[in-house]
Structure formats: structure tokens, C-alpha cells
Amino acid sequence: MSEEQRKPLIGITLGDYNGIGPEIILKAVQGHQLNNFCTPVIYGSTRVLNRYRQLLNMKELQLFGAQNIDQVNRKQLNVINCWNDHQSDVEPGKITEAAGKAAFAALRTAVEDLKAGKIDALVTAPINKDNIQGPDFRFPGHTEYLAHAFKVKEALMFMVSDFLRVGVLTGHMPLEKVKEHITAETLRNKILQMLRSLKNDFGIQKPRLAVLGLNPHAGENGLLGTEEKEVIHPVIEEFRTKGDLVFGTFPSDGFFASSSFRQFDGVLAMYHDQGLIPFKTIAFHEGVNFTAGLPAVRTSPDHGTAYDIAGKNIADPASLLQAIYLAIDVWQIRSESREIAKNALRPKPHLSNQNKNSKEEKLPKEEFDKEQDLF
């Protein structure tokens, strides 16, 4: 296998092409530094990206158009055309039905390749959660669509930076519905997902997890709400009893204001804004949205379409770059773990006294000797 073939194929979806997606993608791949670590493959439209190359004065950047992933040239900057290029009217800053349909076409094609194992990880540029809606996309966002595509009951929105990782118990849902979704079962599942992700995706063998309260002051011992005492604390105690380092509940305001989050490997918030407002305040430019709980790797920048600055050459690609680098890192950690598991020695056979006295359960002497030779 050549050096180029050993690098992961990272799919990058264009998102809403009237937002800042095309701009931050072109800025991220400019100079081809990314090619030292991976082979980026953009799912979108050569015509749209060429229009932005002109707007951003990036005429020296060359794009290699391909109709499908099998035509990718690992030495080029590849663009897989996912819709009819002649139907793409680029209008930076404008919300259009065509841009929403195009965003879904790129996402659908990339997810199909991800499921088929033709790309190693997926990085998604921002979509508009309204204009992307259609017969085949009726989801609050990327996370829910990917969970459906991979037939995963529940995926975890995990906001990640070098020094802060925040998961949310309830994701894209109205605030009035949050309370009814805070149950022992959902909390238990999310804590398990976070602990597993911290171990399997980030290589932290004994992660420390902080759990935030739902109510002001984490309920103030029941004075300001009973969810902490009746639901959250008992579940935390279950994990503590099993030896997991799960702590809480913490009042959100003081927890972040005092930088207590630095003592933990992950933080579980009860609802979207409780976790994402402090995360974006503290780690906006380097923050990444990682979808935990999927069999494949998916990341995205931690911001939206930013129509107000689209096409003005002022969008910062830092979060997208971090999303790409995180996708590579998680893919690498998972690949190494699979390799270790594949090459692991089989455990030594254990024969109980009952088995020793049973001719039916005893290994034939020749096979038993062969097993012993391995250890």
C-alpha cells in the first residue's frame, strides 16, 4: 500500500452553498496542507466551488471533479458532483429552496459512501435546518439524520475542544419538552455513551464525567426542583457503585464560571443551550461537534451557516479545520483499537472441576495441547 493510500479518505459535505460552507472549505484546503494527513473529498458541486473561488480570489486552487467516490484521485483536491451543476444559482446570504435541496443531495451521497466504507470519516459543513426539510429529510439536524441512517436508536451530540467536552442529554427539541425526557433510562444511556466515547474515541481509559443539574443551583436540595434528587442523583450513584468516575450534580453557572470543567474529561448538560452556550463562549473558534454513538466517524464545525457574512471573505475556517483533524484522530484511535483487538491472544481455556469430569465438555487431548502451546 502506498503512502497516499494509507491516509484516510475524509468526506466533506458542502452544506448550504449560500452560507459560509463553501468559503471555509476552500480556505481549509487551500495550500494542500491537509493532504499531508488525509485525502479530502468534497461532496457538492464543482460549479458552486468555482464561483466561490472567483469571489474569494482563489483562482490558483485547482479542483478535480468526479462523479463518484471510485473516480477520486488521491493526489488531487477532489469534488464529487452530487446534483445538476446547471441548477445551482449561488446567492450568498440568501435562503433558497434550491440550496436546501443541494445540501441534502450532498449529505445523502456522502452518508451512502460512509455506510459503504468508501470514505473513512465524514465532516459536515453547516446546513439550514429549515430549507433542507423534504420528503427524505424530516429531522431536527445532522445528528438525528445520521442516527436514522445508521439505524442507531440514539446518537450523542458531543461538543469537543482540546480542553472541554460537552454532551447534551436532550438535543434539538423545544425547551418545554426537556423535562419529560429527563428519565433514568435516557440519563443512563447518555452517560454510557459519553463514557464509551471518551474511552473508545479519545483514548481516555478512566474518564471523569461531570453531570449538570437541570434546575437553578442544581435544585437547591429540592427547593427549586426535584429532578436532581429523584432522577439524576440515583443514576449517578449507580455508576459510582460500579466504579465509574461520574460526579454531580453541578449548577451550570458556577461550574463553568469557576473553570471547574477543567477537572473533568467530559460534561453532560441536561439540554441544548445549557451546554452549548458556555461551550461556544469558551471554545468557539476551536470547537467541534462530534457525533458519538455511531459506527462511523462524523464531525462538524460548531457554528451555523452565518448568512450575514457569506461570500465576504471574512469567515474563519478554524472550527472546520479542527473538525477535520478530530475526524482523523478518532479514525486513527478506532483503527488502532481494532488492530489491537484483532491481534490479541485468545484467553487461556479454563476448565472447571465439573468440566474435567465431563467427557462431553472436555477438549480432545490433541486440541487442548494445541491451545496450551499458544501461551
Which stretches of the chain drop beneath a pLDDT of 70? 1-5, 85-88, 344-375
Residue 356 belongs to a domain: no
End-to-end Cα distance, the chain = 32
Examine the domain organization and report whether 103 and 207 are in the same domain.
no
Residue 373 belongs to a domain: no
Determine the distance from the C-alpha atom of residue 332 to the mean position of all C-alpha atoms in its chain, rounded to a whole number: 14
Q: How high is the pLDDT of residue 4?
A: 59
Q: How high is the pLDDT of residue 349?
A: 59
215, 206, 256: which is closest to 233 by C-alpha?
Answer: 215
Examine the domain organization and report whether 265 and 141 are in the same domain.
no
Q: How far apart, in Å, are the Cα atoms of 271 and each of 12, 80, 176?
A: 28, 36, 11
CB-based burial, 120-149: b 16+ in 10 Å, e otherwise: bbbbbbbbbbebbeeeebebebbbbbbbeb
Q: How high is the pLDDT of residue 198?
A: 96
Residue 67 belongs to a domain: yes
Examine the domain organization and report whether 134 and 220 are in the same domain.
no
Residue 216 belongs to a domain: yes
Q: In this structure, what CATH number is given to the domain that contains residue 177?
A: 3.40.718.10
Residue 361 belongs to a domain: no
Per-residue model confidence as pLDDT tens digits over 109-141: 999 999 999 999 999 999 999 999 999 999 999
Residue 354 belongs to a domain: no
**CA max distance for the chain:** 81
DSSP 363: P
As for how many domains the chain has, the answer is 2
Q: Grid coordinates 491481534 are at which residue?
A: 343
Q: How high is the pLDDT of residue 31?
A: 82
Q: How high is the pLDDT of residue 153?
A: 86
Residue 328 belongs to a domain: yes
Examine the domain organization and report whether 36 and 141 are in the same domain.
yes
Examine the domain organization and report whether 9 and 122 are in the same domain.
yes
In angstroms, the CA 371 to CA 364 distance is 11
Examine the domain organization and report whether 172 and 285 are in the same domain.
yes
In angstroms, the CA 237 to CA 228 distance is 12
In angstroms, the CA 73 to CA 51 distance is 22
Q: How high is the pLDDT of residue 357?
A: 45
203 Cβ contact list (under 8 Å, min separation 6): 333
Examine the domain organization and report whether 145 and 184 are in the same domain.
no
Residue 79 belongs to a domain: yes
Examine the domain organization and report whether 210 and 308 are in the same domain.
no
Examine the domain organization and report whether 34 and 180 are in the same domain.
no
Range of the domain at 175: 157-289
Examine the domain organization and report whether 146 and 199 are in the same domain.
no
Examine the domain organization and report whether 219 and 268 are in the same domain.
yes
Q: How high is the pLDDT of residue 195?
A: 97
Asked if residues 305 and 128 have their Cβ atoms less than 8 Å apart, the reply is: yes
Examine the domain organization and report whether 127 and 12 are in the same domain.
yes
